[in-house]
C-alpha cells in the first residue's frame, strides 16, 4: 500500500504541472509476462541484473505498471531548450505471482535538471561504472542486480564538458541513501560517489577515461554484534563520523569510546568500489571500447596490491551503412577475476594487508547486498544462489567471492523491427579464502532474447527469452520468459 500511496502523490503533483510548457511528455505502460523453467529454479540470466524484480523460484506470472515523463519548467519559446529547467519523474510497480507473492517498486523518483546538472530523490535504476551497460556480465560494485536503494543524489547528467574546447569532460555525483532494516542490521546508511573524466573531444578518434567509484555501507545498530565489532551494538553513524567515511581515513579512533579496534583497523563501514580505466577508438569499420574496473575494498586495493583483480572488457561496435537483413550491432568480450584479493593473509600490524574477502564484512554480515541480492557483480554469490553442498554453517552470507568469469555478449537485429540479444558466461568458482570449494565448480549460463513490435494493438511489443544453466554451482535448468508490453497512454 505504501507504494501505491507514493505513486498517487507523485502523479497528483505531476498533473498540476502537466500543461506548464511545450516540450512536456508523459507515458504510462503496462507489461504482462510469464516465466517457466524445467524445475523450480529461475535460470541465472533471467534473474541476474534485473534490479531485483525476478524471483529465484519458477514459475512466475508478472504484471508491471509504470509511468514516466518530463515537465519543462522554463519558458522555451524565447529561451533555448538546452538551458531549460526540467522536472523528470518515473515510477514502476511490479507484482509477481509465485510461491511467495511479491509487490515491488523497483523505481520511483523525481529529478530536477538544468543543463547537465541534476538533483534526484528516490529509487532509480542505475548501473554505475565504466561498462557496456546492456551486454555486461555486471559492473563490479553496482551492477543493477539488486533492487535500487532509495537515496538523494546530486551530480551531472552524463559527461559535462569542462571548458569551451570540450577536450576534458566530467561525469560525477554524490549520494546519501538508506539501507533497508533487516533482522540483523537496522538504520544503516549508504554513502556513494563517483568521478569519471573523459579526455578527448566528443568527435575525437581516440578518447581516454579514468575515474573512481566509492560505495560505503556505514552506521547502523545490530543486537548480534559483540564488543569486538560494536559498542553496545551501535556502529559509528553520526555526522561527526562522516569525514572518516567520505575520505576513507582513520581519525580520532584510538581513544574514542564509541569506536572499536575493528573500526579503526578496517575503516568506518564496509567500503566497496572500483578504479576505472578506459580507451575508446574510432576506426573506419568499427568503434572499439576497452575498459578495466580494478576492484578495491581497502587501501591495499587502491594501491593495486590485488592486481589483476577486476573486470576487463572489449566492446566492438561495427559501423554499418544499412539496417536491412541480419546485422550485428555490438559484440562484448569480458573477463572477471577476483582470485587474488591481496593474498590469503590479513595481518595489518605486520604490514601485510590481504584476504580482502570481497563483498563480505565482519560487521555487516549480510554482505554487500540489498533485499537479499548482491549489489555488485552477480558472479560473487550468496548462499541462496548456490546448490546446498556449497552452503556452509557460517554467519557470513557471501560464500563465493573468488571467481573467474569469461563472458560473451552480443546485440544484433533483423531489419529495423527485430532486436536480438545473447549472453554466454562460463565461470570457475573457488569459494572464499576461509572456506574453499573443494572441486572448484564450473558453471555455464546463457540467454537469448528477442524483442519486436507487433502490428496489432498499436504500441504493443513482444519480448521472448530462453535461458539455461549447466554446471556444478547452480541447479541445472532450462527456462523461458514471454512478455507483452503496451503503452496505454502518452502525450
Q: What is the pLDDT of residues 184-205, one digit of tens each?
A: 999 999 999 999 999 999 999 9
Mean pLDDT of the region 329-347: 92
**pLDDT at 22 > cutoff 70:** no
Mean pLDDT throughout 449-465?
A: 92
The answer to whether residue 334 sits within a structural domain is yes
Q: What pLDDT is stored for residue 20 in this prediction? A: 43
229 domain residue, yes or no = no
Residue 16 has a pLDDT of 46
Domain with 409 in it: 129-150+159-219+269-485
pLDDT at 250: 80
**Domain count of the fold of the chain:** 1
pLDDT at 18: 44
Rounded Cα distance, 130 and 278, in Å: 7
> What gap in Å lies between CA 230 and CA 266, rounded to an integer?
13
Q: Which residue has the higher pLDDT, 325 or 425?
A: 425
Taking only Cα atoms into account, the Rg of the chain, rounded to an integer number of angstroms, comes to 23
In a domain, 60, yes or no: no
* Grid coordinates of 428: 570457475
406: Cα separation from own chain's centroid: 19
337 in any annotated domain: yes
In SS3 terms, 91-133 reads as EEEEEEECCCCEEEEEEEEEEEEECCEEEEEEECCCCECCCCC
CB 423 within 8 A of CB 45: yes
Q: What's the rounded mean pLDDT across residues 456-463?
A: 88
Kindly state the average pLDDT of the residues 408-412.
Answer: 98
Given this model, what pLDDT does residue 11 score? 47
pLDDT tens profile 201-257 = 999 999 999 999 999 999 999 999 999 999 999 999 999 999 999 999 887 766 788
C-alpha cell at 264: 579503526
Distance CA 299, CA 261 (A): 17
Q: Is residue 90 part of a domain?
A: no
Q: Is residue 177 part of a domain?
A: yes
Task: Provide the mean pLDDT of the chain.
Answer: 92
| pLDDT value of residue 350 | 53
Poorest-confidence range of 180-194, 209-223, 304-318, 389-403?
A: 389-403
Q: Is the pLDDT of residue 66 over 90?
A: yes
As a whole number, mean pLDDT of residues 110-128 equals: 97
Q: What is the pLDDT of residue 458?
A: 81
List the beta strands (DSSP E) in 200-269. Answer: 206-218
- Structural domain includes residue 480: yes
Q: Please, are residues 475 and 459 in contact by the beta-carbon 8 Å criterion?
A: no
Q: How far apart are CA 71 and CA 67, in angstroms?
A: 13
481 belongs to a structural domain: yes
Percent of the chain with pLDDT over 70: 93
Query: Does residue 4 have a pLDDT over 60?
Result: no
> Helices H, strands E: what count in the chain?
5, 23
pLDDT, residue 19, reads 45
Amino acid at each position: 500500500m505504501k507504494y501505491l500511496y507514493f505513486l498517487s502523490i507523485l502523479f497528483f503533483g505531476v498533473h498540476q504541472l502537466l500543461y506548464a510548457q511545450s516540450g512536456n511528455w508523459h507515458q504510462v505502460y503496462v507489461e504482462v509476462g510469464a516465466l517457466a523453467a524445467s524445475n523450480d529454479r529461475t535460470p541465472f540470466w533471467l534473474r541476474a541484473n534485473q534490479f531485483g524484480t525476478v524471483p529465484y523460484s519458477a514459475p512466475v506470472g508478472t504484471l508491471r505498471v509504470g509511468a514516466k515523463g518530463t515537465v519543462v519548467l522554463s519558458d522555451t519559446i524565447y529561451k533555448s531548450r538546452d538551458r531549460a529547467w526540467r522536472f523528470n519523474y518515473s515510477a514502476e510497480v511490479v507484482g509477481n505471482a509465485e510461491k511467495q507473492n511479491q509487490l515491488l517498486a523497483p523505481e520511483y523518483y523525481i529529478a530536477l535538471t538544468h543543463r547537465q546538472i541534476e538533483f534526484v530523490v528516490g529509487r532509480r535504476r542505475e548501473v554505475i561504472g565504466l561498462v557496456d551497460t546492456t551486454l555486461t556480465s555486471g559492473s563490479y560494485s553496482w551492477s543493477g542486480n539488486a533492487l535500487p536503494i532509495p537515496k538523494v543524489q546530486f551530480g551531472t547528467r552524463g559527461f559535462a564538458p569542462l571548458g569551451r574546447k570540450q577536450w576534458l569532460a566530467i561525469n560525477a555525483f554524490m549520494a546519501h541513501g538508506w539501507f533497508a532494516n533487516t533482522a540483523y542490521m537496522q538504520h544503516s546508511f549508504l554513502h556513494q560517489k563517483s568521478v569519471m573524466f573523459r579526455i578527448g573531444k566528443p568527435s575525437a578518434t581516440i578518447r581516454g577515461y579514468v575515474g573512481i567509484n566509492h560505495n560505503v555501507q556505514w552506521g547502523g545498530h545490530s543486537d548480534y554484534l559483540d564488543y569486538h565489532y560494536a559498542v553496545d551494538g551501535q556502529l559509528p553513524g553520526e555526522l561527526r563520523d562522516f569525514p572518516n567515511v567520505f575520505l576513507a581515513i582513520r581519525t580520532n579512533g584510538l581513544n574514542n569510546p564509541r569506536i572499536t579496534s575493528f573500526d579503526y583497523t578496517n575503516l568506518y563501514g564496509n567500503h566497496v568500489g572500483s578504479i576505472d580505466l578506459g580507451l575508446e577508438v574510432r576506426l573506419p569499420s568499427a568503434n572499439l571500447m576497452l575498459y578495466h574496473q580494478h576492484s578495491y575494498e581497502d587501501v591495499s586495493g587502491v594501491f593495486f596490491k590485488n592486481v589483476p583483480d577486476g573486470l576487463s572488457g572489449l566492446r566492438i561496435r561495427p559501423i554499418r551503412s544499412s539496417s536491412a537483413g541480419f546485422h550485428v550491432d555490438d559484440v562484448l568480450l569480458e573477463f572477471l577475476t577476483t582470485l587474488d584479493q591481496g593474498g590469503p593473509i590479513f595481518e595489518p600490524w605486520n604490514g601485510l594487508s590481504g584476504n580482502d574477502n570481497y563483498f563480505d564484512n565482519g560487521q555487516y554480515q549480510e554482505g554487500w547486498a540489498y533485499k537479499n541480492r548482491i549489489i555488485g557483480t552477480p558472479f560473487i554469490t550468496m548462499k541462496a544462489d548456490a546448490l546446498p553442498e556449497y552452503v556452509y554453517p557460517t554467519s557470513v552470507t557471501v560464500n563465493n567471492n573468488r571467481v573467474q568469469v569469461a563472458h560473451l555478449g552480443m546485440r544484433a537485429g533483423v531489419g529495423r523491427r527485430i532486436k536480438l540479444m545473447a549472453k554466454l558466461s562460463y565461470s570457475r568458482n573457488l569459494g572464499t579464502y576461509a572456506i574453499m570449494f573443494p572441486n572448484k565448480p564450473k558453471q555455464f549460463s546463457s540467454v537469448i532474447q528477442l524483442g519486436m513490435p507487433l502490428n496489432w494493438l498499436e504500441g504493443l511489443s513482444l519480448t521472448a527469452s530462453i535461458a539455461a544453466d549447466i554446471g556444478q554451482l547452480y541447479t541445472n535448468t532450462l527456462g523461458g520468459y514471454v512478455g507483452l508490453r503496451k503503452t496505454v497512454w502518452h502525450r
